[in-house]
Amino acid sequence: MTKSPKKGGPTDSLACEQWLAVLDELNIGAFTVNLGHQITAINHCAQALIGLRAGEVVRKDCREVFTGVPCMVSCIIGGGNGKTNGSTVHVTDEEKQEHLITRMATPIYDLHHNVTGCLTILQDHSPVSDLIDRLRYEERSMKNILDSLDVGVFTTNRGGLITFFNTAAERISGYDRTNLLGRHCKEIFAPSEGDPASPVEEAIRKNTVFHGLEGRLHESEGGIIPIRANYAALRDEREVVVGGLVTFQDLTLVHQLNQAIRGRYTCRDMIGKSPAMQKIFAMIPAVASSDATVLIQGATGTGKDILAKIMHDAGPRASKPWVKINCAAIPDSLIESEIFGYVKGAFTGADRDKPGRFQEADGGTIFLDEIGDLPLTLQAKLLRVLEEKVFYPLGSRRTHKVDVRIISATNRRLEQLVKTGQFREDLFYRLKVLRIDLPPLADRRGDLPLLIRHILHKLCAARGEPPLAISNRAMGILLNYKYPGNVRELENILEHALILCAKGTIRKSHLPEDLTATATPPPTPEIDARKNTTPENESENIAATLSKFYGHRGRTAKSLGIDRTTLWRKMKRYGL
């Protein structure tokens, strides 16, 4: 009986030729070398990267030819460890452009598991622009190579069930591949309107390729990630479609840049799966389409200004002006002229007419932030604008009529201000035709893992870096902190940690000192004689699993082999 190779390298020259063509489709350079260090084949991408044609290198000694790509890996032919390995080097192509190249090598075996040469990969650190057109996806060595790419890659069978999910895909989506293998690809794709089928299913059905489609991916904790993806039917060596392949890139940074340019917000900019937040998200379409005044109440840092902008952008006035006024930031002596404007001669130095913010917002929306700090003298004037849509600029005897929608927000309880005479009761009732209360972060602690992941993803994308991991201890501190400054404080804490951490894993030492100083120490371990283990070990195991699944209790319980109620009791016992 022929002995099958135990390792994952190529097993014949035909497979090597197929792989070189496959890697060409991915814009990845590759070449093969025999035991005599002679180059036996080289694909077009490798030729372009090193600036040499196939006729100039085939049958030549690899150690002499690739002077621009020094062999810094452990030589497989020369007695290395026989494992796929790599290094990063700089090369200059034929157009004198410098590239940062990752060089990886994997052995080539014959049918008796004897090394007959090696396959070397030259991966340019640039976006993958095309798809794999042809791939023997069951080969373990090829999966190892795909796992090392900086772009997300996953494969499915003909039924759309996921069969492979690489490390970059895990990092972008937040999923652990062990929880996705065997599940349908629809579970991770946010469906397009009116198109229930996923693009990869269409590619499989039509035996074709779709390039550069923009879409949305469900991340592990329920958020949405914008992606640009390529979809291809996956064929075996007999040209039979055996599944599909997807390569995708995270467009979060592009989304943020476009958002900054447009100044537009969507519900994606607010994160939360708690009942209170889901109730608010469900209200937004109806509230946005209305012209009624809205009062948003919530503590500092809960995102009142973002919610107000979302409602403007989702409504019929989205293309009209959006004007924001912070009533607490303008001195009392200036606020009337700032809001309502003034005419020439209204006061010393008023040498020309100046329109106010209400005139600037005509046709659009005006957002009165910190409305609870508006002076009593202006509250009557604001009430008239609400009721009649007219006002007098400072020093004018003529009214101005405006068509504006008013959204106001405050971190103070207006009911209490009404009782103490600091806020007009009639204005209060006129402002709160629609009222939304944003809960503090302390009341939605179940959203913390999701928020931490989302904010880290956003901050790292802005820095052009992959999301960093968080140690169990640091995650425990973040999950147990009270956050008096709410989401804004959480953002500041994570940005502080990223600056100090730079690379690797965020640890306790990277968090602000005032945060770690108030952290609750872990409980004192006690021996559990029945299981011959300690609660400390169990606590660490639960904490590590919670961190792995970003606090998702259902997946954590399933991974630990316990039910959710048992997990909840143990978390409460260990203060997790």
Counted residue by residue, the chain has a size of 576
Q: Hey, how many other C-beta atoms are within 10 angstroms of the C-beta on 139?
A: 17
Average pLDDT, the chain: 77
pLDDT-based confidence at residue 461 (cuts at 50, 70, 90): confident
Higher pLDDT, 150 or 411: 411
Q: If you average pLDDT over residues 491-511, what whole number do you get?
A: 87
pLDDT-above-70 percentage for the chain: 73
Residue 121 pairs in a beta bridge with: 30, 104
Are 8 and 140 in contact, with CB atoms under 8 Å apart? yes
* Distance between CA atoms of residues 417 and 399, nearest Å: 30
Summarised one tens digit per residue, pLDDT across range 328-359 is 888 888 888 888 888 887 777 777 888 889 99
- In the predicted model, is pLDDT for residue 368 greater than 90? yes
12 closest CA partner among 94, 88, 116, 85: 116
Query: Which three-class secondary structure state does DSSP give residue 544?
Result: helix
pLDDT of residue 489: 92
In the prediction, which pLDDT does 336 show?
A: 86
Residue 286, burial from CB neighbour count under 10 angstroms (0-12, 13-18, 19+)? exposed
CA distance 106 to 479: 43
What's the pLDDT at 523? Answer: 42
Looking at mean pLDDT, say which of 237-251, 294-308, 504-518, 552-566 comes out highest: 294-308
Of 446, 498, 476, 457, which is closest to residue 544 (Cα–Cα)? Answer: 476
pLDDT at 266: 63
